[in-house]
Every structure is written in structure tokens, then in C-alpha cells.
Amino acid sequence: MRYDFPKLRYYWVSGNPLRAMNETNIKLAKVLYAKNGIFESWLVDLNEFQVEVYLNPTANGYLNKHVFDTGKILIPKRLSHIEIPVSNILSP
């Protein structure tokens, strides 16, 4: 089942509390977070039931993007002893 969250489709996770984002802010956030050395950022897409993980920041953005669907396990790069099921992030 898919839910329609037109105003709250994306949330950015980067050490700050979850923050609602729109498409325009996402492009800016990716560059700003990377430029400021945020090592790993997660974008939670509520409509697609996915978590996008951005790694390896540069002055122009992130070099790597990985997409995780429900059923996958996220392991933060700097907290490799922690396993987070994507379904735990996306469940209501």
C-alpha cells in the first residue's frame, strides 16, 4: 500500500532531527551537507518507501548514492555495529 504525502514526501537525516524537505531544498541540502563535511546523509522517501544514503562528500556534493528498499538493512558507515532495518524507519 502506498500513501500520498504531497507536502511531507522527503525527510533528511544527518544528525539533526528529521526535517521535511521539498525537491528544491533537497538539491541544495545535498551540496551544502557535503560541502560542510557531513560524512553520511540519509534521505527518507515516504512515497517510494526508500531510504537514499549519500556518502563521500566533496565540495560539489556526494560521490556515492545507495538506495535501500523495505526489507534491506542499513548499516551506518561510522557506526558499523548498528543494523537498522529500512522497514523500521518507514513503518507508521
The domain segmentation of the chain, as residue ranges, is: 10-90
31 Cβ neighbours under 8 A, 6+ residues apart: 60, 61
Name which of 56, 57, 53, 91 is nearest 75 in CA terms: 53
Report the alpha-carbon distance of residue 58 to residue 83 in Å, rounded. Answer: 26
- For residues 1 and 61, the model is more confident at 61
Q: What is the pLDDT of residues 58-88, one digit of tens each?
A: 998 899 999 999 999 999 888 889 898 998 8
Report the alpha-carbon distance of residue 87 to residue 92 in Å, rounded. Answer: 10
Mean pLDDT of 5-34: 62
pLDDT at 92: 62
